[in-house]
Amino acid sequence: MTASLQRAAAALLFVLCLGVFVGGCASTSPTAPSDTTPPAPAPRLEVPIPEPDTFAITPERPPHAWFHMDAEADGYPGLSTYRAHTTLLADRGPERTVTVAIIDSGVDTEHDELAPQIWRNEGEVADTGADDDGNGYVDDLHGWNFLGNADGENVDADTYEVTRLYRTYSDWVSSTDTTDLSAAGRDSLDYYYRIQADFYSDRDEAQQRLQNVRQAHETVQQVLRYVRNYLDVEEVTPADVARLEDADDPGAQQSFEILTFFYDQGLTPNDIKDFYDRITTQVEYGYNPDFDPRPIVGDDYNDLSERYYGNSDVHGPDPGHGTHVAGIVGAARDTTLRIDGVAPAVRLMPIRAVPDGDEHDKDVANAIRYAADNGADIINMSFGKGYSPQKHAVDAAVRYADSLGVLMVHAAGNSASDNDEGDNFPTPFYEDGDRATHWIEVGASGWTMDEELVASFSNYGATTVDVFAPGADIYSATTGNAYRFNSGTSMAAPMVSGVAALLMSYYPSLSAEDVRAIILESAVSYADHEVTLPNDNPDMPGTQVQFGSLSVTGGIVNAYRAVQMASERVDQP
């Protein structure tokens, strides 16, 4: 679950406990006005989010570019990117262009912010239907999609790895005499019971969440229909909601109370619908053992040596997540558009390997190899899962990329848990005990300098998470020349990839190992800062810990200090 959806889950659960939607628990809780018009399917509402304080009822958000800001100068613990570009780098230009692979859900390569930055395979000729450069991939002009077939069909939703394991082991148990097993067989049976327990627990939790959220979603849609009819508008904006505050109509007043209640939780109506859609997908597909979209791809899934499958459609059914990630790394700078990437001299290589569900180890391994073979300097991996049944294949690909000096940056995960105690795959730790050299594991930090300096959803780990970077309320590109706020370690990882690309482009003599060391050593230390330990249980009180206990460095990545350190090592004798 993404961090934005986790926030929605907590807020909606709190709302339901108050009885907002049933009108029973508290006399002061608003109830939905009756819809006096025939119900009709409500269109998807894209409620714009203005800058904070434009309307009193707008969800509290930081400035759009807070992650580029400086803690001392601006009061936001960002990367100090603007400071680096306007001071240390003001009189010099990048000396090389850095290729950053975005292994993700896909990328909208036609987005105005990204189109100039998209990687192009110079050895490939567009739409020839041939493998012009002989790399094994037909028409891979801008990258590759391991979730499709040669006919252009693509996987969208997929199951979770725990569901796939449950299905596999259930089939084994049903066809096996479990009363007479070898020692290895008994181990497999014990593993099945653990998988079964995890699957049932996760599925039941998702089903209960859907039942709760459906009621909230239907009520909000009812309120929106009422407001559209009352104000005679096609879409309800925060400004429209503000007009209801002094309305004489009781239904309008109730609508105002309900919508402002959600705004106070940092949720727009669109957030609630997104959350409802997401949970519906989890129940219908993610935790459905009978659902298997893999035949669409047409590969031999059990053949982990198979590499040349898929198609060149790097957009895919829904590239919103990957587009947001790509925008953070390298959206075109110095334009009249709405965002700036961290690094100016980059080429973004989209590699689609992450469906709406859990990624497959085979696809992850092949995506890493594709990136390394086609010249990626950095691989950004804003995805993760709790099980990795073909980890040895991923390990082999990571070793390969590591041997070529490719820097790999991975998101630590959004389950508010300790990665020292549990895995978030892929990891830099191989099954034989060795560790990848060129790897940075990234947690998410917030935009306030108080106990929420660590994002409430972020995974952490004193030995497994290297560093933190901005990951809460990050404004970046999304599909169709649009923009939105997203939260997650998925947003923190590309911050680090962007800083790495910045260093590589301005200081090309630095190796990937040098860049990794500089990023970690130059991170701003908040080791003694008291923060609330991330916790996904709203019923548990927050535990105060020192920020330094949550990662190896106890710091937040800082572009200004990284550039300063790189300059000292390269420019000064």
pLDDT of residue 491: 98
Q: Which structure tokens are listed for 121?
A: 């395979």
The single-letter DSSP state of residue 322 is H
Residue with tokens 């990937």: 512
The answer, yes or no, to whether residue 42 has pLDDT greater than 80, is no
Residue-wise burial string across 180-211, b where 16 or more C-beta atoms lie within 10 A, e elsewhere: eeeeeeeebeeebeebbebbeebbeebeebbe
Residue-wise burial string across 360-374, b where 16 or more C-beta atoms lie within 10 A, e elsewhere: bbbbbbbbbbbbbeb
Name the nearest CA neighbour of 460 among 419, 520, 414, 409: 419
Under 8 Å between Cβ of 273 and 44: yes
Residues of the chain with pLDDT > 90, as a percent, come to: 80
Instruction: Kindly give, in sequence order, each residue whose CB lies less than 8 Å from that of residue 141, ignoring residues fewer than 6 positions away.
Output: 120, 121, 124, 125, 126, 312
Instruction: Kindly give, in sequence order, each residue whose CB lies less than 8 Å from that of residue 42, ignoring residues fewer than 6 positions away.
Output: 221, 224, 225
pLDDT tier at 49, thresholds 50, 70, 90: very low
Q: Which structure tokens are listed for 68?
A: 């580029």
What is the rounded (10 degree) CA torsion for 385, 391, 393, 399? 90
pLDDT of residue 27: 29
pLDDT tier at 334, thresholds 50, 70, 90: confident
CA distance 539 to 169: 34
CA distance 143 to 101: 9
The answer, yes or no, to whether residue 421 has pLDDT greater than 80, is yes
Q: Return the minimum-mean-pLDDT range out of 215-229, 306-320, 412-426.
A: 215-229
Q: Which amino acid is at 30?
A: P
CA distance 525 to 555: 4
Average pLDDT, the chain: 89
CA distance 344 to 38: 52
Q: Which structure tokens are listed for 447?
A: 């935009």
Terminal Cα-to-Cα distance of the chain (whole angstroms): 49
Q: Return the minimum-mean-pLDDT range out of 27-31, 438-442, 535-539.
A: 27-31
The answer, yes or no, to whether residue 20 has pLDDT greater than 80, is no
Name the nearest CA neighbour of 108 among 524, 483, 386: 483
Q: Which structure tokens are listed for 475?
A: 């404004």
CA distance 231 to 488: 36
Under 8 Å between Cβ of 296 and 155: yes
Q: Return the minimum-mean-pLDDT range out of 13-22, 58-67, 124-133, 504-513.
A: 13-22
Q: Encode pLDDT of 226-267 as tens digits.
A: 999 999 999 998 889 999 999 999 999 999 999 988 888 778
Q: Which structure tokens are listed for 573?
A: 């004798």
Indicate the pTM of the whole model.
0.89
pLDDT of residue 59: 56
Q: How far is residue 538 CA from its own chain's centroid?
A: 22
CA distance 491 to 452: 17
Under 8 Å between Cβ of 273 and 217: yes
Under 8 Å between Cβ of 226 and 35: yes
Q: Return the minimum-mean-pLDDT range out of 116-125, 249-258, 412-421, 500-509.
A: 249-258
- Across the strands, what pairs with 493? none
Average pLDDT over residues 355-367: 98
CA distance 50 to 291: 40
